[in-house]
Amino acid sequence: MAPQQPRSGERASRPGIEVINRAVDLLAAFTQGPGSVLTLAELARRTGLPKPTLHRLLAALEVQGLVDRTASGYQLGIRLFELGEHVPRKHKLREAALPFMQDLFEASHDTVHLAVLDGTDVVYLERIHGHRALNVASRVGGRLPAHCTGVGKALLAYNPEAALRVMAMPLPPRTAYTITSHQVLAEELQRIRQTGISYDREENSLGITCVAAPIVVDGHAVGAVSVTSAPGSDVERYASAVRTAALGIRRSLGRTPILHPTPPRARASKKEPT
Amino acid sequence: MAPQQPRSGERASRPGIEVINRAVDLLAAFTQGPGSVLTLAELARRTGLPKPTLHRLLAALEVQGLVDRTASGYQLGIRLFELGEHVPRKHKLREAALPFMQDLFEASHDTVHLAVLDGTDVVYLERIHGHRALNVASRVGGRLPAHCTGVGKALLAYNPEAALRVMAMPLPPRTAYTITSHQVLAEELQRIRQTGISYDREENSLGITCVAAPIVVDGHAVGAVSVTSAPGSDVERYASAVRTAALGIRRSLGRTPILHPTPPRARASKKEPT
DNA sequence: GGCTCGCGTTCCGTCATGCGGAACGGTGTC
DNA sequence: GACACCGTTCCGCATGACGGAACGCGAGCC
């Protein structure tokens, strides 16, 4: 009787090795939606995979420590964390940035962020805070659209390619203050290039403002730092401290190369213009 | 002519799905040995897999963002980091611990660690430090034998099962001060249980001493914090601060359940005694 | 120039291996 | 007792991963 409709429409021919795609989908399922301990049935619902298949996959992942079994279900395993910490774009940047982030924290006692760009999103690499932390939307390893965050705009200002991609897509509002016009965003990026400072005035989340500065290497932002605070307190106060921190991080990176993924096109021809 | 010898001897029947085992081996290869950008040929050497196979695997992993291609080779991708940050044992504990770790840092301006136990090893979840950081062997996402670190001994003291496993294995020395006798280690653990404090006096690395305290929930350590400093300065100074921080973290965890992987044996019968 | 070495890449015939519907045992619920 | 939902096992099928062989390329060497 089964209409047999492929759950997500594209059963046929996804690029890559199907087992691996499924395994990663499975791991990603833990990050979507609430709860961190999931039953096999719940995973079946989230991924659309048949239960025997999931059972087999989970057993294989458990052997490798990427998934743990607990009395009440499965959860992501510590081995996955270990691997994730060896990602060079995270590790090198964080190592260089942390001391400066600590300085910012001691000066402000507010939440301090470190982020990089991935596509048109911002991915948070680090986030330090004290006991009284504002209820920020970000989390380490989390992702937010670049156009509505302080770090995101700082990164876009020094990543023309990514900026173009953002300019080519709609800018969904997240609050009443989110920049939704490409024109306005372009002007904003221009202003950031002039001052070296980027602000987020409740553009992503009400009650949250940020000062951010890009970490610029060879005219290209490899990351950005920010200090977050409540709208009342004037964030401008930390502007120069954040900018100085970004410069310090830049210097501390020294000649550590932070390679960015090669865009698919530019690969065959090895002409690095820079 | 090919002798066809299976590279690592156990070609036949490794548990789990072979593609997945290989893929994880491949990812793990990036964490073994120096360098973070590896060529296909280098990966072939490290994993013992044939080049076409690797090529296919890498392409699949790249589609998922677990691996990036750069002009000079492959590196682990930011997506892997994202997944790793959703590991609950890391995330929940870190979130609760960070403010207290900041307190410790501000008080000492030394390196502050947060770690959990995995088997007979310690895995570092977090490590904060300032500009002048001692040259510590640890790194976030890194692994060290439990018996020769401050956090490790603190964790063992409140994990009888893991302690037993350590007692059943040889204790390789890492410095002249490493505890290599089971008898001595048992006494040390006993002392830790009495005082709630664990010391590492250059047992893992010369020039490095630590004070550590376990984060104990229901008589079971779910993690440990430590402050590291140079042998000259008396570490005892921070003993009570570290202990207090551990208690604070414990309280802050509240009723957040931190589930530990179910030991293989205890799974079928669902009798959780606690 | 030509030669060689090591690199990444493509092809393609083979067959191991992942697949998943069906069926089963256990537990909690109405 | 019937039902619903869970996790688990079985097993025949064919798909999709496998890897030896061969190729194009650039760097280094003579």
> How many CB atoms sit inside 10 A of residue A36's CB?
18
Cα angle for residues B93, B97, B103 (degrees, 5° grid): 170
pLDDT tier at A266 (50, 70, 90 boundaries)? very low
Which pLDDT score is estimated for B267? 43
Please give the structure tokens belonging to residue B86.
């959703």
Contact B75 A88 (CB under 8 A): yes
Cβ contacts, strand D, under 7 angstroms: A 17-19, 39-42, 44, 51-52, 55, 73; B 2, 18-19, 22, 49-53, 56-57, 267
Instruction: Nearest by CB to B105, from A37, A102, A131: name it.
Output: A102
Weakest mean pLDDT among A23-27, A249-253, A255-259? A255-259
Question: pLDDT tens digits for A179-190?
Answer: 999 999 999 999
Instruction: Nearest by CB to B75, from A15, A125, A259: name it.
Output: A259
- The beta strands (E) that lie in chain A are given as 67-70, 73-76, 111-118, 121-128, 143-145, 198-201, 209-217, 220-229
> How many CB atoms sit inside 10 A of residue A247's CB?
15
Cα nearest neighbour of B259 on chain A: A70
State the architecture of A18-81 in CATH terms: Orthogonal Bundle (1.10)
Which pLDDT score is estimated for B232? 82
Contact A267 B69 (CB under 8 A): yes
Cα nearest neighbour of A101 on chain B: B130
pLDDT tier at A267 (50, 70, 90 boundaries)? very low
Phi-psi sector, A202: left (phi>0), alpha (psi -120 to 50), beta: left
Chain A residues closer than 8 Å to B116 by CB: 78
A18: nt with nearest C1' to CA? D16
Give the CA-trace dihedral at A55, B81, B74, B24, to 10 degrees: -30
Q: Which sign does the torsion angle of CA A221, A223, A225, A226 carry?
A: positive
Separation CA B194–CA B42 (nearest Å): 50
State the architecture of B87-253 in CATH terms: 2-Layer Sandwich (3.30)
Question: pLDDT tens digits for A42-52?
Answer: 999 999 999 99
* Residue B230 vs residues A25, B235, B239: alpha-carbon distances, Å: 46, 8, 15
Chain A residues closer than 8 Å to B134 by CB: none
The secondary structure element, H or E, covering residue B127 is strand B121-128
Question: Chain C positions under 7 Å from a protein CB?
Answer: 6-11, 17-23
Which pLDDT score is estimated for A235? 81
What proportion of chain A, given as a percentage, has pLDDT over 90? 78
Which pLDDT score is estimated for B105? 96
Contact A98 B68 (CB under 8 A): no
Contact B125 A81 (CB under 8 A): yes
**Which residues are CB-contacts of A226 (< 8 A; sequence separation ≥ 6)?**
A112, A113, A115, A150, A151, A154, A198, A200, A210, A211, A212, A213, A242
Backbone angles phi, psi at B35, to 5 degrees: 85, 145
Short-list B152, B164, B64, CA closest to A26: B64
Backbone angles phi, psi at B172, to 5 degrees: -65, 135
Which pLDDT score is estimated for B15? 84
Q: How far apart are the first and last CA of chain A?
A: 61
Which pLDDT score is estimated for A137? 79
Contact A64 B259 (CB under 8 A): no
Strands A143-145 and B73-76: unpaired
Which pLDDT score is estimated for A262? 62
Please give the structure tokens belonging to residue A160.
């023309």
Which pLDDT score is estimated for A232? 83
3-state SS, residue A248: helix
Short-list B87, B144, B135, B88, CA closest to B115: B144
The residue extents of the domains of chain A are 18-81, 87-253
Chain B residues closer than 8 Å to A88 by CB: 36-37, 75-76
Backbone angles phi, psi at B250, to 5 degrees: -55, -50
CATH number of B18-83: 1.10.10.10
Instruction: Nearest by CB to B88, from A66, A76, A116: name it.
Output: A76
Separation CA B254–CA A10 (nearest Å): 44
**Which of B13, B61, B83, B112 best probes binding to A when mutated, by most A CB atoms within 10 angstroms?**
B83
Are A35 and A44 within 8 A, CB to CB? no
Question: pLDDT tens digits for A151-183?
Answer: 999 999 999 999 999 999 999 999 999 999 999
Chain B residues closer than 8 Å to A28 by CB: 83
Q: What is the pLDDT along chain B (274 residues), one digit of tens a residue?
A: 333 333 333 444 688 788 999 999 999 999 998 989 999 999 999 999 999 999 999 999 999 999 999 989 999 999 999 999 999 999 999 999 999 999 999 999 999 999 999 999 999 999 999 998 777 778 999 999 999 999 999 999 999 999 999 999 999 999 999 999 999 999 999 999 999 999 999 999 999 999 999 999 999 999 999 999 888 888 889 999 999 999 999 999 986 767 677 654 444 333 333 2
Whether A272 has a pLDDT exceeding 70, the answer reads: no
Separation CA A19–CA A17 (nearest Å): 6
Which pLDDT score is estimated for A221? 96
Instruction: Nearest by CB to B86, from A15, A116, A141: name it.
Output: A141
| Distance between the alpha carbon (CA) of B28 and the C1' atom of D17, Å | 21
The whole-number average pLDDT for the span A240-265 is 82
DSSP string, A97-157: HHHHHHHHHHHH-SEEEEEEEETTEEEEEEEE--SS----S--TT-EEEGGGSHHHHHHHH
How many cross-chain Cβ pairs, A to B, lie less than 8 Å apart?
222
Which pLDDT score is estimated for B258? 72
Cβ contacts, strand C, under 7 angstroms: A 18-19, 22, 49-53, 56-57, 267; B 17-19, 39-42, 44, 51-52, 55, 73
The whole-number average pLDDT for the span A120-145 is 91
The whole-number average pLDDT for the span A64-82 is 95
**Which of B56, B78, B101 best probes binding to A when mutated, by most A CB atoms within 10 angstroms?**
B78
Chain B residues closer than 8 Å to A91 by CB: 36, 139-140
**Which residues are CB-contacts of B183 (< 8 A; sequence separation ≥ 6)?**
none
Separation CA A252–CA B139 (nearest Å): 18
